[in-house]
Structure 1
């Protein structure tokens, strides 16, 4: 944040020199974020009239004297935080966030915090140093202490695909995962498949559990008993799709179709089938979830559930920028619609 200070009347640091109250203290007293105070100080228009009046009143009361701009003053920033950045779907979310941030003249800092000791705490240390205007957290969990620290700093937080309970006291943006899981399974049922394998995502994630629940619901609605031996673990990455499909193929009565809870796992499943000399969809149909750009070029092009990843990024960016302006989002829980995209990886089973 710009190096601005306000002077508190009636106190002194040393004889003849008034003490300074920080922008953070002004923000806490006003009940707004630090970036909001900075916007008022810098004459930005993206602050509501009521908030502007409250902050300006406090600045006057404390005898604010604006420092001249210096080369060290920084641009407005939003932090975008992932567990990992080694998945193509992360690129789609970044694309959406960047579009809105660029339109607003806001910089984006992208971080990954999973798998490194102390990475989350180091990220928080860096965030304090750069005085971020807001944080977008993607399928990640912040330790309660870090979450509370964000709140005390007045840094707004929005979560994409919350990993934990949907009851978090922050706005969330997700997709209709349950409906997507149901539509993928119904598509396979409609083609005549009755033994449908499911490669699940990490069970700690709400989106994974919702896709599995949609799969179960579709089978139940069709009167097809759920066979738990057809449900195998996965982690959204290709290797687990490969291993999961191998496990399904080793069953005495293997499935005629596989629904993988991510496109990457679906591609891994297709490779497992290829290595066994089996063809898609002639020998087994495969459905994914996400509709990543590359799956339309896979062999064969993949039937999948389109998750509006870029739109989710855009929605989250708008929400966090609204919060930074002390504007409450219209809805704290947003779920964007998924859509089944039928391509060449699914067909009627060879044996009904």
Structure 2
């Protein structure tokens, strides 16, 4: 039986309708390629499963400390600061330097910049990567680790996250123990993996308690405070509104606080609120927010250490590390009215 022939750069160039030098430019992060050609090459790389030759990645210059890139979906808020602090601390311990990049969807210029740098690898934090982008990084033999992946990563891509399902379940168990039976959830974007897991964990405890969490009691929003206020107000209005709400992030929970104030609801006397993340904002709120602690800095450190263990040939089944969450009880939850 003949062995399957290895996909070559020429195969990619032929399928993409371009030349071998142009494909090499795309995988090398060169900017002198049109956006349409780059997109076409990336798609073909994914379809054909092309991987560059071993040793293709250029090592750092002798005597120069290697660099890793931390790619963030945004730098606003304290989540990014905590992730950066964890990555930087672990990098300092390992003697490597950190470069920070920010994505600006739908532009994927961050990917071109990443490929153009002489890097040991990259940690992608909350970055909504496409299959084509991941395939391009693999083809260029750029090791990556996903930190809190937005979508379910392929089995070949390493990742580090939090125990989101268990955290959602802990939030429900706390509210149920306080006697709440009219429950609501203000979730993040429907397609985001960690939002789905938190809602599923919450729902599992509610169902086990013999209760029903109706679909109209789960409202989706984005992760910002201001839009969450309007969505929370929709959920809370009415005489039979929930007496307790689980918000899938602390920023969303603060939107619930704003909506409650607008509707004349007191926290926690009329409405109990549980968040998720345990950012500094949770303690600054009035009353202080009961929330699920997510070890963000520790996750960043774990992602960096995982990255440094990788070579340019990532294993067929990539590692997945999940760090524990825990409930932190503060003043925003009380017995059901």
TM band (smaller chain): 0.7 to 0.9
Pairwise CA RMSD:
2.4
Q: Does 1:102 align with 2:92?
A: yes
Relative to 1, partners in 2 of residues 1:330 and 1:230: Cα closer, same or farther, differing over 3 Å?
A: closer
Residue in 2 aligned with 1:21?
A: none
Query: CA deviation digits over 1:275-304, x for unaligned, max 9?
Result: 333211011111000000221121111100
Structure 2 residue runs without a partner (length 5+): 1-27, 29-50
Residue in 2 aligned with 1:34?
A: 57
Residue in 1 aligned with 2:191?
A: 204
Tell me how far apart the structure 2 counterparts of residues 276 and 176 of structure 1 sit (CA, whole Å): 33
Aligned length, in residue pairs: 288
Q: Based on CA coordinates, which of the two structures has the bigger radius of gyration?
A: 1
Match of 1:304, SS state, is: strand
Residue in 1 aligned with 2:77?
A: 87
Relative to 1, partners in 2 of residues 1:143 and 1:224: Cα closer, same or farther, differing over 3 Å?
A: closer
Match of 2:327, SS state, is: strand
TM-score (norm 1): 0.76
Residue in 1 aligned with 2:255?
A: 268
Query: CA deviation digits over 1:111-155, x for unaligned, max 9?
Result: 22133x53x1x2222223322211111222333333222222221
Per-residue deviation at 1:274?
1.7
Query: CA deviation digits over 1:241-276, x for unaligned, max 9?
Result: 312220122234101011100000101111211233
TM-score (norm 2): 0.79
Tell me how far apart the structure 1 counterparts of residues 89 and 316 of structure 2 sit (CA, whole Å): 19
Matches within 5 A, 1:56-71: none
Per-residue deviation at 1:321?
1.3
Relative to 1, partners in 2 of residues 1:145 and 1:220: Cα closer, same or farther, differing over 3 Å?
A: closer
Query: CA deviation digits over 1:155-190, x for unaligned, max 9?
Result: 101011222224341111011111100110110000
Match of 1:123, SS state, is: helix
- 1:334 pairs with 309, 321, 324, which one? 321
Which portions of structure 1, spanning 4 or more consecutive aligned residues, are displaced by more than 4 angstroms?
A: 324-331
Structure 1 residue runs without a partner (length 5+): 1-23, 44-73
Residue in 2 aligned with 1:113?
A: 103
Residue in 2 aligned with 1:248?
A: 235
Tell me how far apart the structure 2 counterparts of residues 138 and 168 of structure 1 sit (CA, whole Å): 18
